[in-house]
Structure 1
């Protein structure tokens, strides 16, 4: 799944990422911009693309495999 974290103190938001990486960016943001304030805000889940980035990468892998097969069939 893809997640986006929103800062509870300002308008900052992370890009759509895996949960661990988005959370890490949120914590880094709070350390830089809001020192001494515990990380807060909201978490948004990409419901339009529940597989997020890994699903996209899998699709690119299949496309690459098809291109390799098509190239090997050429005379």
Structure 2
């Protein structure tokens, strides 16, 4: 599972990564940009974050439809 932390004070988001790595980046951000404030914000999780790749999205569906049309056209002749 991949995680991304959002800052509660500004628009900063960590890169997708393991919970420990993303959490450390979140802490580093707070230390550098918001010293003295407690950690805040939210955590986003995903089975596969955008950085992980995974899946063809719309392209996969378009290829499937195109193949079905080719097969249908071949059967009509």
- What is the TM-score with the length of structure 2 in the denominator? 0.61
Select the structure that is richer in strand. 2
User: Unpaired runs of 5+ in structure 1?
Assistant: 57-75
Moved runs in structure 1, 4+ residues, more than 6 A? none
User: Unpaired runs of 5+ in structure 2?
Assistant: 55-77
State how far apart, in whole Å, the 2-side matches of 1:46 and 1:14 are: 14
Offset at 1:46? 1.4
Q: How many pairs are equivalent? A: 52
State how far apart, in whole Å, the 1-side matches of 2:36 and 2:42 are: 19
RMSD of aligned residue pairs (Cα, Å):
1.9
Match in the other structure for 1:73: none
> Does 2:21 correspond to 1:32?
no
Match in the other structure for 1:15: 15
- Bigger-Rg structure (1/2): 2
**Deviations 1:22-60 (Å, cap 9, x if unpaired)?**
00000000000000001110000014x27x85xx8xxxx
- What is the TM-score with the length of structure 1 in the denominator? 0.63
